[in-house]
Amino acid sequence: MQTAIKPEQKRVKSHNLLMSRPDSYDLIYEINAWMHKSNRPDKRLAWDQWNQLHDTLTQKMGANVELVQQAQEAPDMVFTANAGMMLPNKRVLLSHFRHPERQVEEPYFEQWFRDHGFEVLHMAEDCAFEGEGDAFWIGDYMVAGYRKRSDICSHHYLSELTGANVLSLELIDDRWYHLDTCFLPLKDRLAAYYPEAFDHYARRVIQEHFDAIPLSPEEALKFACNSVVIGDQIAMPAGCPNAKFALEERGYKVHEVPMTEFIKSGGACKCLVLQLDPLNS
């Protein structure tokens, strides 16, 4: 069922985001190196941190946030970055998750996209793709991670669909299992990254294409790369003073947001947000 775009919906470039309130956020399975059922999130604190991120994005950074209702049986659906990847002409490539625990989210995200006037494209059944967690635009390139969650076949499809130059980057460490945990696109040719998360070849690709600011292991472990960039403002997980300083030196205004309860599940600011506009510039 496809419904028309709401006429009042405003489409300010790069400022429309999708989030999901942590109504049923929890940790009841383990599908990445961060998740331990013995270390479940404090739900009240998670709500508080989610609200702080939401308010930072809307009130300080000028974003418009749309909401998708979290399904009860999908405790990780708060991580909307994994819903899909926006493409030009109001199309979205819907994610096809690696793990069955998260595949239950696919129909809910699909419904939301259809209800909001997006044309939904699907991956092949045997090709995993985890949306903006593993692929994003930077300048006229698309950078995309593979091996842990997304398969490289998804990059071929992205390139075919968009005509973009896709830079495929191999992820080699289980703690940095999505590209958005270890690579932060800033603008045009500027990015921050955690070099050790990538294989040798991917590091060279990054260094040759970008002015890439390397971040320390300590701050990469605090999800410094998992930040939301809107223009010259950034929402960054709290506790990363060196990354904050490096970005301030490049002219960014950095807002720190505590993310401890989401880091327990292997996510932080960026994972909780999907860009609804196809270009990140």
Tell me, yes or no, if 269 is annotated catalytic: no
Query: 20, 70, 181, 227: which one contacts ligand ARG (CB under 6 A)?
Result: 181
- Encoded one letter per residue, x for contact with ligand ARG by CB under 6 A and - for no contact, window 206-225 reads --------------------
| Torsion angle of C-alpha atoms 19, 25, 29, 33, degrees rounded to 10 | 60
Query: 16, 20, 265, 275: which one contacts ligand ARG (CB under 6 A)?
Result: 265
Q: Two tokens at 35?
A: 């998740």
- Encoded one letter per residue, x for contact with ligand ARG by CB under 6 A and - for no contact, window 81-120 reads xx-------------------x------------------
- Encoded one letter per residue, x for contact with ligand ARG by CB under 6 A and - for no contact, window 131-170 reads --x-------------------------------------
- The answer to whether the CB of 146 falls within 8 A of the CB of 154 is yes
Task: Kindly state whether residue 267 participates in binding ligand ARG, applying the rule CB under 6 A.
Answer: yes
Tell me, yes or no, if 178 is annotated catalytic: yes
Q: Which is nearer to ligand ARG, 5 or 45 (CB)?
A: 45
Q: Nearest distance from residue 122's CB to ligand ARG, in Å?
A: 19
Q: Which is nearer to ligand ARG, 103 or 281 (CB)?
A: 103
Specify the stretch interacting with ligand ARG by CB under 6 A; choose among 39-47, 51-59, 168-176, 266-274: 266-274
- The answer to whether the CB of 81 falls within 8 A of the CB of 133 is yes
Query: 139, 239, 266, 278: which one contacts ligand ARG (CB under 6 A)?
Result: 266
Specify the stretch interacting with ligand ARG by CB under 6 A; choose among 28-36, 38-46, 54-62, 227-235: 28-36
Backbone φ and ψ for 137, nearest 5 degrees, come out as -85, 140
Cα separation, 147 vs 33, in Å, equals 15
Task: Kindly state whether residue 175 participates in binding ligand ARG, applying the rule CB under 6 A.
Answer: no
Task: Kindly state whether residue 178 participates in binding ligand ARG, applying the rule CB under 6 A.
Answer: yes
Q: Which is nearer to ligand ARG, 6 or 68 (CB)?
A: 68
Point out the residue whose Cβ comes nearest to ligand ARG.
133
- Chain center to CA of 23: 20
Q: Two tokens at 194?
A: 């955690």
Applying CB under 6 A, the residues found at the interface with ligand ARG are 31-32, 35, 76, 79, 81-82, 102, 133, 178, 180-181, 265-267, 271
| Residues that are catalytic | 178, 271
